[in-house]
Structures are given as C-alpha cells and as structure tokens.
Amino acid sequence: MKVVLASCAALPSGDGDEDALISALQRDGVDVSWQPWGSPVDADLVVLRATWDYTERPDDFLAWCETVPALANPVSVVRWNTDKSYLVELAARGLAVVPTAVVEPGEKPSFPDGEFVVKPAIGAGSRGAGRFTDHAEAQAHFEALGVKALVQPYQSSVDAHGETALVFFAGEYSHSFHKGPMLAQGLAESESGLYVEEKLRGIEPTEAQRSLADRVLDEAAALLSLDRKDFLYARVDVVSGADGEPLLLELELTEPTLGFKYTGEDAASRLSKAIRSTARA
C-alpha cells in the first residue's frame, strides 16, 4: 500500500510533527513518502499534511486536489473547509461559534466595539490575521488584504488561556493540545513566511469542549452530506467566550498540525490505522 503525505515546496517534508506518523505507517507495512502538492501523484491515498502555502494559490490548490484519485480529506470537504465562511454556516445550525462577519473586497466592513480581529477567509498559519481597536487601521488592513475577510470580536480569554485543539481520526476523538495566543496588537508576524511559530503542549479538554467538538463534527458532516467518520482527520479549535463556555474558532479539515509531538505514540498508530482503512476502501 502506497501513501503520499502532501506538503509544499518550501517545506517538502513538513515541520517534523509527522515523524511519529511516518514511523507508525512504516511499522504497519505502508510505503509512505512526502510529495509537495501541485504535480501528478500516484498512490493509494494522498493525505494533505503540510500544504501550508495553498492560501497563496487557492484555485490552483483545489484544481490539483481534483486531480488526485484518492484524497484525504476528500476534495468536497477541502473546498468547503478552506474558506472560513463555513463558520457562519455552523453558527446558523445552532453551534456556539466565535461571532463572525464575512466581508467581501470592496464592501465597507462594520467593526465591533472594543478589540476585534480582521483575517483572510482563506488563511492559515495566522498569516494576514490582525488584531485592532482602531477602525481606520482595521479598514486599511482589510483593503491591503484585498480578499474576502472575516471580522470577529477578539476573544480576550485567548491571552490568558490560548486555544484548545481537539483532534479526531475517522470521526473518533484521539487527543488534544494547547496553543498559546498568536496575535499581539497589530499584525501577526511570521519568521518562516508560511506560518506564525506556535507554542504548543498537550492538554486534557473539558467535557464542554468535548461535547462542542462532537457537535461540530456531526453538523459539518451533515452540511456536507457525509458521515463524520469520512473525515480521516479533523481538528476542532475552541476558545472560551466571555461566560467561560467554549466557542468554535476553527474547524480544520484541510492541513491542520495534529500535534503528534505533544501526545503519546498511540495517536500516530490510530491515524495509521484510519489511513490504512481509508486507502483500502
């Protein structure tokens, strides 16, 4: 069985987080290798893992995804998930989501009082995300982005508590990790040019976080006419709202870091198992 992990030209073997996954797949007898996205690929399954530059060429990326015979997550999922406007759809289904307004280029955004975030609708690695109180500065940032963007009130709990990422394989909960705050006042700064460097560590989620994440997966699957087990991998990023209840910040179904470095080896074994059953299907 041949499995390709898709990466990008700047980091053709990812950032090291997948090392445990590669070991697990090899131990399980899988022929696994990395390949940057964009050229033809021959494998029983291609798993999007480190395709971080797709936000610069989203149309090319989706067109390439369409050419891959067996892709995880499936291209319909990727198409829906690469545009963060899905947050509005999930909120409309009654989920607790960070309040989100979508602004198209050329439109005049209306900004909330207090601190808020302006970030590209198609974005990853915190790039292009800015934290503002000044409306003129935020307007200038939105115009400089020149693309569809999201406006959200800044969730100040992130400064003290960061966010919790809950990871699922084939719809089943695997593990969680914690991510520190990414946005100082102003614009997020990236050293690598691909993502803003993150501070991560393992964490146990609360019951409330678990149950929100479960509902998010069920509702996302329903919106896509899929079953949640069709998501080979999923990461649900939650923050605390003003009342302490969890709010969805992001549902990552495209190329999330899965945090193997911050959890036990069995997480990689679980994904290896899910990959092998998806590749056989």
Ligand X SMILES: Nc1ncnc2c1ncn2[C@@H]1O[C@H](COP(=O)(O)OP(=O)(O)O)[C@@H](O)[C@H]1O
Indicate the residue whose CB is closest to ligand X. 182
Of 8 and 249, CB closest to ligand X:
249
**From CA 48, how far away is CA 109, in angstroms rounded?**
33
From the list 15, 230, 250, 255, which residue makes contact with Mg ion (rule: CB under 5 A)?
250
Shortest distance (Å) from residue 150 CB to Mg ion: 12
From the list 90, 98, 194, 251, which residue makes contact with ligand X (rule: CB under 6 A)?
98
Strands 172-179 and 163-169: antiparallel
Q: Which stretch binds Mg ion (CB under 5 A): 62-70, 152-160, 243-251, 273-281?
A: 243-251
Query: CA-CA distances (angstroms) from residue 276 to 65, 116, 167, 169, 262?
Result: 20, 43, 18, 12, 23
Nearest partner of 67 among 78, 56, 80, 53, judged by Cα? 78
Residue 178 binds which entry of Mg ion, ligand X, none, CB below 5-8 Å type-dependent: none
Shortest distance (Å) from residue 198 CB to Mg ion: 9
Tell me the residue type at 88.
V
Give the DSSP H or E segment for 234: strand 233-240
Ramachandran category for residue 130: left, alpha or beta (phi over 0 → left; psi -120 to 50 → alpha): beta
CA atoms 28, 34, 37, 38: torsion sign: negative
Give the per-residue contact string, 119-158, with ligand X (x = CB under 6 A; - = no): x---xxxx--x----------------------x-xx--x
Of 52 and 169, CB closest to Mg ion:
52
Of 230 and 250, CB closest to Mg ion:
250
Q: Is 65 exposed, middle or buried (0-12, 13-18, 19+ CB in 10 A)?
A: buried
- Is residue 163 a contact point for ligand X (CB under 6 A)? yes
Nearest partner of 28 among 36, 20, 40, judged by Cα? 20
From the list 5, 182, 194, 268, which residue makes contact with ligand X (rule: CB under 6 A)?
182
Q: Which stretch binds ligand X (CB under 6 A): 5-13, 181-189, 201-209, 215-223?
A: 181-189
Enumerate binding residues for ligand X (CB under 6 A): 98, 117, 119, 123-126, 129, 152, 154-155, 158, 163, 179, 181-183, 237, 249-250
Enumerate binding residues for Mg ion (CB under 5 A): 250
